[in-house]
A and B are shown apart, each in its own frame.
Chain A
Amino acid sequence: MMQDDKVIVCEKLTKRFGDFIATNEITFNVHKGEIFGFLGANGAGKTTAMRMLCGLSSPSSGKATIAGYDVYTQTELIKKNIGYMSQKFSLYENLTVRENIEFFGGIYGLSDERIKSKTDELLRVLGLKSEANKLVASLPLGWKQKLSFSVAVLHDPQIVFLDEPTGGVDPVTRRQFWDLIYEAADRGITVFVTTHYMDEAEYCNRISIMVDGRMEVLDTPTNLKHSFQARSMDEVFYQLARGAKRGD
């Protein structure tokens, strides 16, 4: 891959809380349009690392640029160029579908015209036209997840961070969700996914696994399974994380 198509560049990124090293010198790159899986057991340092990458927390040492912006000095620019979706919170349950889209469009500074055209486009693509004026709370979980992903990429960010995006939905709905992810990646949006579920991890182009603050492995699912002589990613993870010292 070419040098200039790296959208996440991390070099020895470290975060300390007193004596505790939450994230210990992690080094990796993520390319444009890649679906990158970021895995680790509870307390392995995933959340801390992700906060640094999103510009929410300043690293203790090391270097990182996100979408070309420095995580120390250009956090505001980083925030403008990324999207974020978590299973826990993404949409306002007591606003309607349309109001949610308009709200998040407004937050990211889209013009009124653009919000309007984006809203119509989204409602059409997601097949939510007849639900546009219904409260988000009344939607099934699968639709909420699809909607919140679409809202997270509403402003065409360079990178979208997904924090355990598809827990608890049926396999068909989950695939519809992954179709959206593939489509976004095809448009050149880089997708950065954290998850506990290894079958979900297998959808990623490359996977990294963190253990006790370090990034132990980084490769494609096929290569990882091959080098650990494992049948599934679950086994790979188990072999790596079994020896972990830290819990959360």
Chain B
Amino acid sequence: MKQFLAFVRKEFYHVLRDRRTLLILFGMPIAQILIFGFALTNEVKDSEILVVDYAKDNASWELLTKIGSSRYFNIRQAALSHQEILSTFRQGKIKAVVVFPEGFNEDLLHHNKAQVQLIADATDVNTANMITNYLSSIILDYQNQVNANLQMPYRITPEVRMLYNPQLKGAHGFVPGVMALVLMLVSVMMTAISIVREKETGTMEILLVSPFKPVLVIFAKAFPYLALSLVNVTAILLLSVFVLDLPVKGSVPLLFAESTLFIITCLALGIFISIKTESQQIAMLISLMGMLLPTMMFSGFLFPIENMPVPLQVISNIVPSKWFYIIVKSIMIKGLGISMLWKETLILLGMTLFLLLISLKSFKIRLQ
């Protein structure tokens, strides 16, 4: 036990004395939260849209005011030909164009069937989708109003409501994602690198030629990173509550318990990488390419899994971060409890046990 503690203390010295490690450990989560929370939100705010109004009648004016009063859009009016619309798009200043054809009001009142053309810049598909969705819902809303005024007896109006995140705040989805990302980085990469470093410097040889049990060497090396990762989880949660104004809806202890489970998964992965590699660079490369990239791609944090081709959807199931992401999102945002999350938790637990088993199996008490 005394040996174990000496080991843990030594490991903390390593971390605290290396500025780069410290930066990755504590600078990165903060930077990530802030970057994702503020800079990279996928909210559509103050998008420039261009209106070409051939109708210039009552209805088009009303609808325009409605669009303009939304905080999502800034309206510029112009009378342009179709050609000119295209060239304006090319300049990249506007996100969408709304075209009202002649006789818009007429059509609406008498034919009960009016047309509005929405043209969006789809180079950024997400933004284009969102803008057209918003615009459509505003138009529907207006239609609803008009219909109500006309006292039409029966009309189906689709109602769009943003569930769980009514203000459409981007950071909501990002906090669980960043958490998965940071834990992956800290637990997998740092553990792998710190063990491989001992191989590189030759200290592993000395440790093996000592009465200290080799397996304990590995555990003693992983332990400090468990502690540090939990500190990171705390930091991310504090940031999200106090800086991004996103409270944790569900149980905080449950969130920590699930995080601990995920951290152990990552540590097992890190240990496995360290056993199979001989240099810090390779350990880092494998951690980045093999762990971080799948986390970004397949956890559902940047790209919705439902939109992926089926083979990729299947692959996403073996990425531990995906399950952790679902769990964290459910606890933080939906406020769900363990009774709703036991399935995901079990999957994660299974993965952890499997990874621990293979890393311990492949660990050798000798060189090579």
A and B touch in the complex (CB under 8 A): no
